[in-house]
Amino acid sequence: MFQKVLATFGSGGAKIDARLLDAAAAPGRPLHGEVLLLGGEVDQEIKGLAVTLLARVRLPGGDRTEDLPFGSQQLVGRETVRAGRQVRVPFELPLPWETPVTSVYGKPLTGMAVGVRAELDVAAAVSDPFDADAVAIEPLPAQKRILDAVSRLGFTFREAILEPGRVDGARQQLPFFQEIRFAPSPRFASVFSQFAVTFLTSPERTDVVLEVTKRVRVSKTGGFGGRGQDFLGMFTVKPDVDWEKQLEAWLDQVARPRGIFD
């Protein structure tokens, strides 16, 4: 009986170990893995075993984050986990098309935290065992074309963040969106302070939202102030487009003076 009581507090109870079988994944593709279920010192009743996709979102204000679920799959229902038994439970978890990119050409993007959390729902337990693994999400070919074009224009990666909310005027499924932020190229450094790319992908198409923060003068003859003005552009990625030329044309248009303090 004492062992059963300890198991409800996590001591000597069942444990789990989540393992990803794919070195990298991509939006809209399945993620393969398995959960190793390890029986404890006594038989235990469980109410379920599930895996959940989590993404770390930066909350308004910029100093707090929250891990938000954006997909899940139930693997096991109510069962009895026998003492000392080991069971492998495979899973194939579909990734939403808007899953954030966390790695490009094998290099992690600073600021990104996306992972899979496996959690065992143990009946009468004070705390449920869980295990989490980070996921490397590489961009789709259409997304790579845009990121390669941005790089060739001389923009350098600064950080990537997830923000809660929606992009105005865009088709969006998830309750957050990703901004991949770049420092401006030398050509545009005097005009822009930041350039950001957001991908909104579906089975039918990939939309890219571009945002530049344009420096604003504090007076007609004075220098630039600390504030800036944001400009948005939205394009549907098509294979027969020279995206380096397309992006450069849009940036040139935004860079043109528009007013007395521009």
| Secondary structure, 3-state, 185-245 | CCCCCCCEEEEEEEEEECCCCEEEEEEEEEEEECCCCCCEEEEEEEEEEEEECCCCCCHHH
Residue 259, pLDDT score: 57
Give the tokens for residue 240: 């027969």
Q: What is the pLDDT of residues 184-212, one digit of tens each?
A: 999 999 999 999 999 999 999 999 999 99
- Amino acid (one-letter) located at 183: A
Domain 2-134: CATH class, spelled out: mainly beta
Residue 84, pLDDT score: 76
CATH 2.60.40.640 residue ranges of the chain are 2-134
Query: Once rounded to an integer, what is the mean pLDDT over residues 65-81?
Result: 90
CB 180 within 8 A of CB 101: yes
What CA–CA distance (Å, rounded) separates 142 from 1? 59
What CA–CA distance (Å, rounded) separates 114 from 67? 9
Query: Once rounded to an integer, what is the mean pLDDT over residues 23-39?
Result: 92
Residue with tokens 């070195």: 23
Q: What is the DSSP letter of 2?
A: H
Distances (CA, A) of 207 to 90, 91, 107, 159: 33, 30, 23, 20
Residue 168, pLDDT score: 84
How many alpha carbons lie under 13 Å from residue 205 in its C-beta half-sphere?
10
pLDDT > 90 fraction of the chain, expressed in percent and rounded: 63
Res. 8 pLDDT band, cuts 50 70 90: very low
